[in-house]
Structure 1
Amino acid sequence: MPADLAVIGLGHLGLPLAQAATAAGIDTIGYDTDPRAVAELSAGRPPVDGSLTPSEIRRMLSCGFRPTTHPAELGRVRTAVICAPTPPAAAPRTLDLTAVTGAARALAARLRPHTTVLLESPVPPGTTEDVVRPLLEEGSGLRAGRDFHLAYSPARLDPDDRAHGYAHTPKVIGGLTPACTESAATFYGRLTDKVVRARGTREAETVKLLETNYRHVNIALVNEMAVLCHDLGVDLWDVIRCAETKPSGFQAFRPGPGVGGHGTPVDTVGAHRPLRLVETAGQINERMPQYVTQRCATLLNEHGKSVRGARVLLLGITYKPDLADREGSPAPEIAQRLMDMGAAVSYHDPYAPVWRVRDLPVPRADSLYEAAAGADLTILLQHHRTYDLQGLAVKAQLLLDTRGATPVGAAHRL
């Protein structure tokens, strides 16, 4: 059965696009090579990352959304959007494009003339033209810019920003040709209030690079400030509170036990010069889980206890508050380091009923306050809104707040 749109990749990038498209009345199929994920979606069950609720999935299905593992469906659409994941590669701060190239090959074998092909996956600049374009042309016998349209549009949706959503998040578009850009703009204009045209695919790809690196560099700055301020006996959280009143030239970022998320900072693009600031920022952020465990050991020692044999409760193991997504969360590394030091680690998270570290189950606390009262040290890694931090600070024997969310004086802060 023909459809207007194929979303290739039903993860944290593809599902919000498919949701927006079906809500706009666009006949949409979702293609993924994972049969289990497709079966779960077809049955109305939400993804494990919690990006969509069961009711949202059911609404999509009732509007005609069809998840599938059959690549033949890709040859029956007017627009195809590649939303394949690009996880970190073996080399530090580079991306693995295996899923993107696989998606391009699957589409190329069934690509029809006049189709608009869009790439949304985070990729290094040049990927659309130098990697995806040759695969599409060789596999289809068609020529990009003449027989079909090709463009790049960075995914920019913040999963926990319900105020903006897809319709109110501007879409940046860069096409292989001006006609490719306009074809992409026509499509995205059905989904969002504002379309921003870049000069080409490389400029659009570099938008994503800049936005991701901007976040990581600024988090690294404030993480380094957290270490400095602790050594100086300065309340960093009060410093940030005051600094963010500046009407221009300052945007507040806050420290944490790690960065997390799907956006991997990229400091080397092919044979081009490395981005040294991004490389340094990555090293700073990657050290934060180690710094947190050092702070834990110091706190326990200051209270006459050793890490070895200590009962440590971790609160919030997801990478963002009020979401189930654990991608890049620092919690596993912190748990591993504490275990290696001999601590007995347990956790609580309303969005994670089961958690395994090193393929071993981590005990989950059923009663939060009882667990905090019984733990030698409680560490707030993620501030979910369900946590009553005032009450928790009273119950916990020793509380380390890595998010600056507790009332002043109620806990030790990062």
Structure 2
Amino acid sequence: MPADLAVIGLGHLGLPLAQAAAAAGIDTIGYDTDPRAVAELAAGRPPVDGSLTAPAIRRMLSGGFRPTTDPAELGRVRTAVICAPTPPAPGGGPDLTALTEAARALAARLRPTTTVLLESPVHPGTTEEHLLPLLEEGSGLRAGRDFHLAYSPGRLDPGERARGYAHTPKVIGGLTPACTESAAAFYGRLADKVVRARGTREAETVRLLETNYRHVNIALVNEMAVLCHDLGVDLWDVIRCAETKPAGFQAFRPGPGVGGHGAPVDTLPGQRPLRLVELAGQVNERMPAYVVQRCATLLNEHGKSARGARVLLLGVTYKPDLADQAGAPATEIAEKLGALGAQVGYHDPYVADWRVGGRRVPRADSLYEAAAAADLTVLLQHHRTYDLQGLAVKAQLLLDTRGATPTGAAHRL
């Protein structure tokens, strides 16, 4: 059965795109090689990362969205958007394995006049140097002549529903001007604003700049957090005052580490390293160890040793009010606390089962009782369901790594 659109890869990039397309009345299929994930979606059940709710999935299905594992479906669409995951590779840079598999599956069925778009996070040059040859060799067609090819970085903030797809400008860069216009015509049906880059490399580099911008600025406030603690200065009050400046300052806030799907890129193949980004990465990577150090110091100041101490971690996801644990610092913090001999438990309303190093971490059923029983409670993620004033009263000792508790109610990062 023909469709207007194929979304290839039903993860944190692909599902919101498919949702926006279905809502716009675009006949959409979602292709993924994971049969279990596809079966769950087809049954109306939400993804494990919590990026979409069950009602949202059901609305997509009723609007004509069809999840599938059948690659033959890819040969019946006018537009195909590759949203394959590109996690960090062991040797550095993005792992293009899933992207390569998606490209080959599409290429074998690619028809003339199809518009092929890439949204996966990649290094500048990947669209033309990696994706284009795969598509041309597998299809026998020429990009820019027989089919359109363009790149558009994924820019949605997971869990942020106020802007959504429609109110997040889409950046696009095509192989040729005609490719750019074909991509603009598609995304113009979903987003209020389309921004044309000069080409695929410029569009790819937009993603690089936006990701590195986030990590560099978080690193700055993380360094300030350590400095301000040593000076006895309330950093959270400093930020509150600084963000009143009408220009030249954007507020970022420190935390126990940096999670999320977008990894900072400090080195590109054949290019000199981005020294500022490299340094920022080092600062951010030290934060879980710093949190553990603060835990041990607090316990010691209250006459307790980290060895044998009962430590309760609150919020193990990377963002508030989401189940997504991608890159969350909670895992490393739990590992390091365990190495010190602490008895680690956790509470998270969005995570029913949490494993660290292959071992299941005990989950607290009653939050207040667990906080009262723990020698130290550590707020790693501020979910809205947490009553921090009540927790501050119940907990024997509370370390707030998010600056979310009322002033004086807890020890802050």
Taking structure 1 as the reference length, what is the TM-score of the superposition? 0.99
Q: CA deviation at 1:95?
A: 1.1
CA distance in 1, matches of 2:271, 2:144: 27
Match of 1:30 in 2: 30
Match of 1:222 in 2: 221
Q: For structure 1, which segment, 310-319 or 155-164, has the greater mean C-alpha deviation from structure 2 after superposition?
A: 155-164
CA distance in 1, matches of 2:170, 2:122: 16
Q: CA deviation at 1:315?
A: 0.2
- Matched ranges for 1:4-403 at <5 A: 4-92=4-92, 94-403=93-402
SS of structure 2 residue aligned to 1:166: coil
SS of structure 2 residue aligned to 1:86: coil
CA distance in 2, matches of 1:157, 1:205: 15
Q: Can you list the C-alpha shifts for 1:302-349, whole angstroms capped at 9, x where unaligned? A: 000000000000000000000000000000100010011000000000
CA distance in 2, matches of 1:324, 1:46: 11
Structure 1 counterpart of 2:4, which letter? D
SS of structure 2 residue aligned to 1:45: coil
SS of structure 2 residue aligned to 1:392: helix
Deviation beyond 6 Å, 4+ runs, structure 1: none
Q: Can you list the C-alpha shifts for 1:43-92, whole angstroms capped at 9, x where unaligned? A: 11100000000000011111111111111110000000000011011124
CA distance in 2, matches of 1:368, 1:192: 41
Structure 1 counterpart of 2:22, which letter? T
SS of structure 2 residue aligned to 1:283: helix
SS of structure 1 residue aligned to 2:109: coil
CA distance in 2, matches of 1:168, 1:104: 29
CA distance in 1, matches of 2:41, 2:273: 41
Q: CA deviation at 1:273?
A: 1.4
Asked whether 1:413 is paired with 2:412, we answer yes
Q: CA deviation at 1:160?
A: 2.0
Q: CA deviation at 1:161?
A: 1.6
SS of structure 2 residue aligned to 1:25: coil
Q: CA deviation at 1:274?
A: 1.1
SS of structure 2 residue aligned to 1:29: strand
SS of structure 2 residue aligned to 1:400: strand
Structure 2 counterpart of 1:77, which letter? V
State the superposition RMSD in angstroms: 0.6
CA distance in 1, matches of 2:293, 2:172: 45
SS of structure 2 residue aligned to 1:285: helix
How many residues are aligned here?
Answer: 413
Structure 2 counterpart of 1:260, which letter? G
Structure 1 counterpart of 2:95, which letter? D
Structure 1 counterpart of 2:66, which letter? R
Structure 2 counterpart of 1:209, which letter? L
CA distance in 1, matches of 2:356, 2:159: 26
Structure 1 counterpart of 2:192, which letter? D
Q: Can you list the C-alpha shifts for 1:98-151, whole angstroms capped at 9, x where unaligned? A: 111111111001000000000000100000000000000000000000000000
